[in-house]
């Protein structure tokens, strides 16, 4: 088990927002993640964990500084964990484009060079990070997960591939059908190779048909999002999920775009959704 190095700690809403770094066995690099511990956790009580996965170009700080989520985590008594979106460092492969390389890990385990050695974000998010969190912080094994855009893809995909591990999953403007959209096709070809049959293992719209654990799903999408509907096709996933027997709440929000203003506007309802699933 990796040792954690405390990078920073801030008191907010009676709890602690902390950033930690550690050497990751999944990525072979130093990784940084943030965790918000609500007042209840600081008082010695073990609390459930809500994982947040961010989108393209983001790190652990975007959501923590823009969404207003710590207030809600404090009120509901949940820990909030926010990892980075990719490995980083001078020796980590990168690309000049914003949608490939550092900041754009797509939460997959890459199999192709030069990405395969470090870009193993699926293993990091699904296995290594939860084990670290549960070993080092006062949390229970109750978990839920949500995310935005590329992180919405990650949250849905990780939840579907790990039945029974998460109480619920939600997403803001998620990439739900990456095998059929430009962002996903570019990233999957680079990270996973040209055999598109291998891509299906990370496509939520394809995974949902065979998923046997029907956890509740919430999706919010802004109709003024400039990536909707070419890159973002939530209705495709919603139809597939409902056909497979999932309960899905889908909201198309008039006038909202892809920004953190959109996330901040509806973050309350996502916390309430997860709190209900966690029995809080």
Neighbouring C-beta atoms of residue 172, cutoff 10 Å:
29
- Helix, strand and coil in the chain, % to nearest 5: 35, 25, 40
Q: What is the 3-state secondary structure (H, E, C) of 71-95?
A: HHHHHHCCEEEEECCCCCCCCCCCC
CA distance 83 to 158: 14
* Sheet hosting strand 79-83, strand order edge to edge: 5-12, 15-23, 30-37, 79-83, 47-53, 139-148, 169-172, 217-222, 248-253
What residues are annotated to the active site? 149, 225, 258
- Local structure of 152: helix, strand or coil: helix
DSSP 16: E
> Beta partners for 171?
147, 219
Cα-based distances in Å from 25 to 71, 92, 103, 223: 33, 14, 19, 40
Separation of alpha carbons 13 and 78, rounded Å: 13
Question: Two tokens at 101?
Answer: 């390389």
Which residues, including other chains, have CB under 8 Å from residue 212's CB and lie 6 or more apart?
163
Question: Are 174 and 250 contacting, i.e. CB atoms less than 8 angstroms apart?
Answer: no
């Amino acid at each position: 088990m990796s040792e954690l190095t405390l990078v920073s700690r801030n008191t907010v809403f009676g709890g602690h927002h902390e950033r930690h770094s550690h050497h990751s066995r999944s990525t072979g690099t130093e990784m940084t993640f943030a965790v918000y511990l609500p007042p209840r956790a600081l008082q010695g009580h073990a609390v459930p964990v809500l994982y947040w996965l961010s989108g393209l170009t983001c790190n652990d700080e975007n959501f923590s500084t823009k969404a207003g989520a710590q207030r809600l985590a404090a009120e509901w008594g949940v820990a909030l964990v926010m990892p980075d979106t990719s490995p980083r460092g001078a020796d980590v492969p990168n690309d000049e484009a914003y949608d490939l390389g550092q900041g754009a890990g797509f939460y997959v385990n890459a199999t192709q060079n030069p990405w395969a050695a470090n870009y193993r974000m699926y293993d990091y998010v699904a296995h290594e990070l939860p084990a670290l969190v549960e070993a080092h912080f006062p949390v229970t094994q109750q978990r839920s997960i949500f995310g935005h855009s590329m992180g919405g893809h990650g949250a849905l995909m990780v939840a579907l591939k790990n039945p029974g591990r998460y109480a619920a999953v939600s997403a803001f403007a998620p990439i739900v059908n990456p095998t059929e959209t430009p962002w996903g096709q570019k990233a999957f070809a680079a990270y996973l190779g040209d055999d598109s049959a291998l891509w299906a293992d990370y496509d939520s719209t394809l995974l949902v048909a065979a998923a046997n654990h029907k956890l509740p799903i919430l999706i919010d999408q802004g109709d003024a999002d400039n990536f909707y509907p070419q890159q973002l096709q939530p209705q495709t996933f919603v139809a597939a999920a409902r056909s497979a027997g999932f309960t899905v709440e889908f909201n198309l929000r008039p006038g909202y775009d892809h920004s953190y203003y959109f996330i901040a506007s509806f973050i309350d309802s996502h916390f309430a959704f997860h709190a209900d699933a966690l029995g809080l």
